[in-house]
Amino acid sequence: MFVSQQFSQLIQLFYGGQHAEEGLESPFLKSHVGNAVTDISASLLQAKQDRQQQRSEGVYIIQSAIDDRSSNLAFLFAPLILANLNRATIYSTQITAPVSTILSPHYSLESALQLDIDKALDALNLHMHMMDADLDPSEFLITQIIQALMRADLRSLILIVDQDVDRNRLKDLADFFQINITVISSNDSPEIVPSAEISMHQLLFKRKDETHTQLTRLFSQRLAPVVSFVVGLTEAQSTLLIEDMFYAEHIFEKLSVYAEYVQTQIQYKENKPRRLFAS
């Protein structure tokens, strides 16, 4: 019963008390995480119990939709950085124009949804879960948080959101589910150049013009709280570490390997022989 109360509190974090009933009855919510609140609660409780037996340090990052010209685009690189630091990381956001501009040249964002998440984490410490931009923002956040809490390997949950969140209620949830949660506000983010003007071969490589040098510095500063929260470094140390990665091509290498992994896995599924007869 208590886990159901915690689940209801989670709904209220993003829908508000007067809309909690609407949140529980959302068709999208039901279709993505189960048909009944009791089923979801049972899964959350099972994950909590299993979490007590595990020593894994899984990270789940959930980010509200990224607007163009917003420096919140920096967080798109967070999972690549954490994966390079040997932290198994799942990252989820919605496929807006800047996300597509940055990632689509490397791999099919829709195809990546077909990946086996656990296999991707085992192989690369990384899974990037991109969702439709047309989804209701609250439904997107709630469903992804529930998906995160259903993972027994979850240790750190990072919410990068443009909504006000009751920090006390969030702390109660973190204590109950025995995980660490932090919230980073995506409001009032500094403006940057349009995503179409960002060159990945300058942003992620050593040689940069002045625009990409400044962009690297800003992105490193914005990403520092994420790395600091997960790894335990100070934000100043994290900033230097991240900036080094932007110059040393480590982020580009991880993105390239992930893109190749996505393509290989999808081709394997498409070419997998079908059984003609049942055994």
Q: Is 130 exposed, middle or buried (0-12, 13-18, 19+ CB in 10 A)?
A: buried
User: Is 17 within the bounds of a domain?
Assistant: no
Q: The domain spanning residue 95 has which CATH number?
A: 3.40.1030.10
pLDDT value at position 97?
96
Helical H runs in the chain?
Answer: 2-15, 20-24, 27-33, 37-51, 78-84, 97-103, 117-124, 137-149, 167-177, 200-203, 210-231, 235-248, 250-271
User: Is 264 within the bounds of a domain?
Assistant: yes
Token look-up 């022989």 returns 273
What is the mean predicted confidence (pLDDT) over 48-66?
91
User: Is 93 within the bounds of a domain?
Assistant: yes
User: Is 80 within the bounds of a domain?
Assistant: yes
| DSSP tag of 208 | -
User: Is 14 within the bounds of a domain?
Assistant: no
What pLDDT band is residue 33 in, cutting at 50, 70 and 90? Answer: low
For CA atoms 130, 134, 135, 138, the dihedral sign is positive
More confident residue, 188 or 95: 95
User: Is 105 within the bounds of a domain?
Assistant: yes
Range of the domain at 76: 57-270
Mean pLDDT of the chain: 87
pLDDT value at position 90?
98
- Percent pLDDT > 70 in the chain is 84
User: Is 84 within the bounds of a domain?
Assistant: yes
For CA atoms 177, 180, 186, 192, the dihedral sign is negative
What is the mean predicted confidence (pLDDT) over 66-93?
97
Q: How many domains does the chain have?
A: 1
Amino acid letter for position 231: V
| DSSP tag of 125 | S
pLDDT value at position 240?
98
Range with lowest mean pLDDT among 38-52, 204-218, 230-244, 264-278: 264-278
Q: Is 7 exposed, middle or buried (0-12, 13-18, 19+ CB in 10 A)?
A: buried
Amino acid letter for position 52: Q
User: Is 251 within the bounds of a domain?
Assistant: yes
The answer to whether the CB of 181 falls within 8 A of the CB of 159 is yes
Q: Give the tokens for residue 249.
A: 């091509």
**Cα–Cα distance measured from residue 192 to residue 211, given in angstroms and rounded to the nearest whole number:** 9
Q: What angle do CA 192, 193, 194 make, to 5 degrees?
A: 115
Neighbours of 87 (CB within 10 A): 19
